[in-house]
Structure 1
Amino acid sequence: MTSAETMRKWRSSLPHDQSIGFAPTMGHLHSGHIALIEASRKKSDVTVASIFVNPMQFGASEDLEAYPRTLAEDLAKLEQAGVAAVFTPSASDIYPDGIDQHTAVDVPGLTDVLCGASRPEHFRGVTTVVTKLLGLVRPHLAFFGAKDLQQVLVIQKMVRDLCINTEIITVPTMREADGLAMSSRNTYLSDEERAAAPTFSAMLEACATALSAPSADFDRILKDARKALIHAGFSVDYLEARHTHDLSPASSNSDEVALFGAVRLGATRLIDNRMLPAQP
């Protein structure tokens, strides 16, 4: 389905007693995306996926045009995974009057830190398009990956604040055999960068373990971890421990604290996170 109208008609044709699961994606699918589909199929009668490279969430200097588009391969993967329908709208269908003239959805409090600090327009684009997609698909459940934990927290708040009748389900991060979190942007890495990239996830894990110790000195541990990442060749955007209920800084172990990290390796931005206390 390639238009909002066909999506609406298809959705209206479904029996009212069927539960609908939804996995929104930007395509260039990997095993992490397929995990969303598998989770949805376990919990829902009907699973829908979308593929839409959302221009509203890309900054002026970011990689919209370079973002990989592999529609034929993605559709084959989704068919094999057992989705009932795939929604592949165009930008003109989602933003018929253009992005500048389109109503935007802002979620205060969670979007001006971490990724929101370095990508100030990013979350406005995410929340706007997710609101539209949820309105068109009208799923009972929507599935998002834990790798993008800040995004999940933002969307959960948005759904709660706007009384959208969809439950947001978080699916655990899928990792490569060497520990690197799966991401479509991993394909941007050169062979040399790809060999070095797992150091980020390993250092994040080590930092989370250190922060989980009784009476851990958060400031010192985070400062040392940032220095270690820089020494390993990464440019550090942020490495911070924050409470997941409001993303305020955390200085000690308590419930609902996560370690968030974002780095650059060459031109490629990598993000990852760990919940605290770290699991042995």
Structure 2
Amino acid sequence: MKIIRTKADLRALTESWRRAGETIGVVPTMGALHAGHLSLVERACAENDRVIVTLFVNPKQFNNPEDLAKYPRTEDSDAEKLTPYGADILYVPDGAQMYPEGFATTVSVTGVSEGLCGGARPGHFDGVATVVTKLFLQTDADRAYFGEKDYQQLQVVTRLALDLDLKTRIVGCPTVREDDGLAMSSRNLRLDDSARATAPVIGRVLDRAAASMSAGQPAEETLARAREDLARAGMGEVDYLELRGDPDLKLMTHADRPARLFLAAWLDGVRLIDNVAVAPYASQ
């Protein structure tokens, strides 16, 4: 696996692959790789002739400078973790490569970007949409792989690729969880031992609430009970806990069509997100 740091070097390689008739997959990341990321790389390698993993901590998607400063940066260990998987390139551009002097363009997706993390983190999805568009163009990818843990992000990226007629096809992949049910995330590295022991309650509470709504219980009372369960377990402030349609992400009061239950909550100064599918109940 080669480590590439400039657009020019990346393009020289992708153009040679294109001349050879090879397909290209990309796995965009911000590093601090875990088994969830590696599952995306594994699938990309199975479905494409060539695979690029990108590593760029994108400042435009952070609305909190402190959060940006604390984000783990682990390039050496990330490269080591990727070695067994067969990726061809780890693309590690710096800020000047991604946003050169005078950069003045923003990609903004409405609708699916509104509310949830879009409401709690103003400008976040503009930053995501802008950097992802650039990465698709820089890598010339046929397919791009994203985890369902960041489900709103997946829908934003899917929408922008469709609306902008990008050739890159978006592939959503299931959330990968720890043995205790906690959704894998780079942010989990920032939890101390006590918080890490508490965090799996998120998955348990979401699963119970999803089952309740699939049985026909209204969202309002189910989510109120879920908030109480989270507080009793020691979770901090809840940014949101909502039932939304899948894939339009519109607010719902009953699970009368395919839906997802979304949560963002704080623990030990770390913002954790998760979501689970909610099967529609069969009305009488």
TM range (shorter): over 0.9
Partner SS state of residue 153, structure 1: helix
Partner SS state of residue 176, structure 1: coil
Moved over 4 A (4+): none
Long gaps (5+) in structure 1: none
**1:7–1:104 distance in 2 versus 1, CA, 3 Å:** same
Q: Please list the CA deviations of residues 67-88 of structure 1 after superposition, one character each: whole Å capped at 9, or x if unmatched.
A: 1111111111112211011110
Question: How far apart are residue 45 of structure 1 and its match?
Answer: 1.2
Question: How far apart are residue 273 of structure 1 and its match?
Answer: 0.5
Matched-pair contact (CA < 8 Å) for 2:45–2:85 = no
In structure 2, the residue matched to 1:96 is 100
- Give the letter for the 2:83 counterpart: E
Partner SS state of residue 103, structure 1: coil
Alignment of 1:36-115 (within 5 A): 36-97=40-101, 101-115=103-117
1:258 and 2:226 are equivalent in the alignment: no
Separation in 2, partners of 1:19, 1:255: 37
Long gaps (5+) in structure 2: none
Question: How far apart are residue 227 of structure 1 and its match?
Answer: 2.1
Separation in 2, partners of 1:10, 1:256: 42
Partner SS state of residue 77, structure 1: helix
Separation in 1, partners of 2:126, 2:18: 33
Question: How far apart are residue 244 of structure 1 and its match?
Answer: 2.1
The total of aligned residue pairs comes to 276
Could you state the TM-score of these two structures normalised by the residue count of structure 1? 0.95
In structure 2, the residue matched to 1:28 is 32
Question: How far apart are residue 137 of structure 1 and its match?
Answer: 0.5
1:11 and 2:14 are equivalent in the alignment: yes
In structure 2, the residue matched to 1:117 is 119
Using the TM superposition, name which of 79-88 and 187-196 deviates more. 79-88
Alignment of 1:166-185 (within 5 A): 166-185=168-187
Q: Please list the CA deviations of residues 92-126 of structure 1 after superposition, one character each: whole Å capped at 9, or x if unmatched.
A: 1100026xx43000001122200011101111111
- Give the letter for the 2:40 counterpart: L
Question: How far apart are residue 61 of structure 1 and its match?
Answer: 4.3
Could you state the TM-score of these two structures normalised by the residue count of structure 2? 0.94
Q: Please list the CA deviations of residues 184-207 of structure 1 after superposition, one character each: whole Å capped at 9, or x if unmatched.
A: 000110110001100111111111
Matched-pair contact (CA < 8 Å) for 2:258–2:279 = no
Separation in 2, partners of 1:93, 1:140: 22
Question: How far apart are residue 249 of structure 1 and its match?
Answer: 0.8
Partner SS state of residue 269, structure 1: strand
Matched-pair contact (CA < 8 Å) for 2:219–2:254 = yes
Separation in 1, partners of 2:256, 2:158: 21
Q: Please list the CA deviations of residues 214-251 of structure 1 after superposition, one character each: whole Å capped at 9, or x if unmatched.
A: x3221111111112212222221111010123211112
Query: What CA RMSD, in Å, does the superposition of the two structures yield over aligned residues?
Result: 1.5
Separation in 2, partners of 1:253, 1:200: 20
Separation in 1, partners of 2:107, 2:229: 38
Question: How far apart are residue 62 of structure 1 and its match?
Answer: 4.0
